[in-house]
Amino acid sequence: MGNMLARLLRAAIPAQRVATTAAPRSPWWRTAVVYQVYLRSFADADGNGIGDLQGLRSRLPYLAWLGVDALWINPHYPSGGADGGYDVIDYRAVDPEYGDVADLEQLVADARRVGLRVILDVVPNHTSDQHPWFQEALADPSSAAASRYHFAPPSEEPPNNWRSLFGGPAWSRTPDGRWYLHLFTPEQPDLNWRDPAVAEDFERTLRFWLDRGVSGFRVDVAYGLFKDADLRDNPGTYSPTLFGHGPEQAMTWNQPEVHDVWRRWRAICDEYDEAMLVGEVSLADVGQVALYSRPDELHQSLAFRLLKSPWSAEDYAEAVVEALDAFGEVGAPVSWVLSNHDKERKVTRFGGGDVGTARARAAVLLMLALPGSAYVYAGDELGLPQAAVPDEAKRDPIFFRSGGLRAGRDGCRVPMPWNETRGVGFSTDPDARPWLPIPEDWGRYAVSRQARDGGSMLTLYRRALAQRRAHPSFAEGEASVSRQGDVLTVRSVGPSGTVRCVVNMGSQPVVVRCPGSVLLSSTTRLPRSGDGLALPPDTAVWLSED
């Protein structure tokens, strides 16, 4: 027996250890399925080829029908457009491309009416270089605004060896020769969180949106904000192939001071009705990630390992066990993620075509069977593959800053196909040019078509979300994880009895014991074999043991 297997078999994991004692009865976010809306690509109401708030509002009935609990909207703020909205000019406004504050209020109110909560994206690590503070700091090195960023006096060499995550050095020069820090693009100067004015302003921003009825925030780069006080050299450099940010970048990320920010933000959210914070904490060590979700900090921090794991039962089992363990230690639910706007679409990641699609179907059944909360990226419920975006249409700075060596993230950000008409229903004007080109054959993935098809990816998502609601043992139960060869099993005991999710990640069919009933399966081919079921390769099944 390999070490891994031995570890897994020992791992009977009480997934919600603390929930039953300290926490109030299951706040909504502990088990919520959150649908991530890439606003620019969701639905265009004003016919300019760019998705907007009224477009999203018009599609709320779809999201309620699908059966998710909440929406997280990617940044909607006025932006310099250097990094898909993650370069914010004004945190308390809406980019006119998307609408205005009244539109957002209307969206939140309508969403509530159909049982959906709305979460916004907040970007506290950096601003746009067009933000009034940075403009003031450029104009006057002795201004108060200058101390809200990291500037260094003119010199031959940059102040340290830090690298930008998007390629190239993390320091650029101002027109007057000073250096300034940007861990992403040069248009995204990093804020200096040691200046109290920065914290004060973000607290105002949180209240501004909470007062307008939003249910919380996804916090961008929540492992950042504070940098080493002396900006010392990193012992190593970032490589895009590394799993997350680890000790090689110890001076840049995960400084202990940041946890106090989350304590203050948590206290603010606690003043509002059921508001929550979910952090993007891309650190290599899941134990460190979980620390961001201690009871007085962020409600959740996203567990990214499934999003990066190859299709292997061993990897998946390890990812699930380590996350349940680490978050269980701090009493937080795990927030599972299989895709987002930064990673290749999962159908493509899992091999593309029929194989990739079968695996994507099985993977989502696994994710939705796990205890805790889950994040679904818009378009994944349609099984969209990564689109081939021609270089001349690309927008992602990763493509440009890597000199074209990295493909960039545009292929997972292409607009949604809603129907099979010209323009696939993304825009109210079928002749509008979408901001990223939509592949010609994407009508085949359209919502209208899949909604009529009992075997479609969309139908699978909808059924899975309904079954997850009907059987709270999946999301709320105590899970134990086991692996036999290529077969991963999650067995959960909870308020609706004992349920099981079995995933065959190998290349041969396996026989699965089935004492109770089949709740759902990622395939229609599930023949009986003796007193069990023959589970084909790349498929998953949900079983009830009662």
The footprint of ligand NOJ (CB under 6 A) covers: 83-84, 86, 123, 184, 220-221, 280, 341-342
- Residue 126 beta carbon to ligand NOJ: minimum distance, rounded to whole angstroms: 7
| Inter-CA distances, 412 with 241, 346, 388, 432, 437, Å | 19, 9, 9, 20, 12
* Helices (runs of H) and strands (runs of E) counted in the chain: 16, 19
Instruction: Tell me how far, at minimum, the Cβ of 283 lies from ligand NOJ, in Å.
Output: 13
How far apart (Å, rounded) are the C-alpha atoms in residues 244 and 162?
16
Nearest position to ligand NOJ, beta carbon: 86
Please, which residue, 38 or 442, has the CB nearer to ligand NOJ?
A: 38
CB 240 within 8 A of CB 406: yes
Pick 83 or 297: Cβ nearer ligand NOJ: 83
Tokens of 200: 């004060």
Catalytic residue among 220, 297, 322, 380: 220
d(CA 412, CA 394): 12
Is 95 an annotated catalytic residue?
A: no
- Compute the least distance from the CB of residue 89 to ligand NOJ, in Å: 14
271 is catalytic: yes
Vertex 339 angle, CA 372 and 241, to 5°: 115
Considering the candidates 271, 392, 440, 441, report the single residue annotated as catalytic.
271
- Using the minimum distance from each CB to ligand NOJ, give the nearer residue, 45 or 88: 88
Residue among 8 and 123 whose Cβ is closer to ligand NOJ: 123
Residue 84 CB, nearest distance to ligand NOJ (Å)? 6
Nearest distance in Å: CB 134, ligand NOJ: 15
Give the single-character DSSP code of 436.
S
**127 to each of 184, 330, 515, how far by Cα in Å?**
11, 31, 56
In order of 171, 225, 295, the CA distances from 290 in angstroms are: 30, 17, 11
CA distance 290 to 543: 30
CB atoms within 10 A of CB 247: 11
Q: Are 305 and 321 in contact (CB under 8 A)?
A: no
Closest to ligand NOJ by CB, 278 or 457: 278
3-state secondary structure at position 186: coil
Q: What is the closest distance, in whole angstroms, from the C-beta atom of residue 19 to ligand NOJ in the complex?
A: 28
The CB-of-165 to ligand NOJ minimum distance in angstroms stands at 8
Q: Would you call 128 helix, strand, or coil by DSSP?
A: coil
Q: How far is the CB of 220 from ligand NOJ (least distance, A)?
A: 5
Tell me whether residue 122 or residue 465 sits nearer to ligand NOJ (CB atom).
122
Measured between alpha carbons, how far is 316 from 515 in angstroms, rounded to an integer? 25
Q: Which is nearer to ligand NOJ, 94 or 281 (CB)?
A: 281
Question: In the complex with ligand NOJ, which residue's Cβ is closer, 182 or 462?
Answer: 182
107-114 own/partner pairs: CB under 8 Å, 24+ apart: 107/53, 107/56, 107/57, 107/60, 108/212, 108/213, 108/214, 109/213, 110/57, 110/60, 111/60, 111/71, 112/213, 114/60, 114/61, 114/63, 114/64
Alpha carbon 521 to its chain's center = 25
Question: Using an 8 Å Cβ cutoff, are 365 and 333 in contact?
Answer: no
Strand runs labelled E in 264-387: 276-279, 300-303, 335-337, 373-377
Compare residues 16 and 340 and give the one whose CB is closer to ligand NOJ. 340
Tokens 């949900």 correspond to: 542
CB 338, min distance to ligand NOJ, A: 15
Cα gap 473→546, rounded to integer Å: 12
Write out the catalytic residue numbers. 220, 271
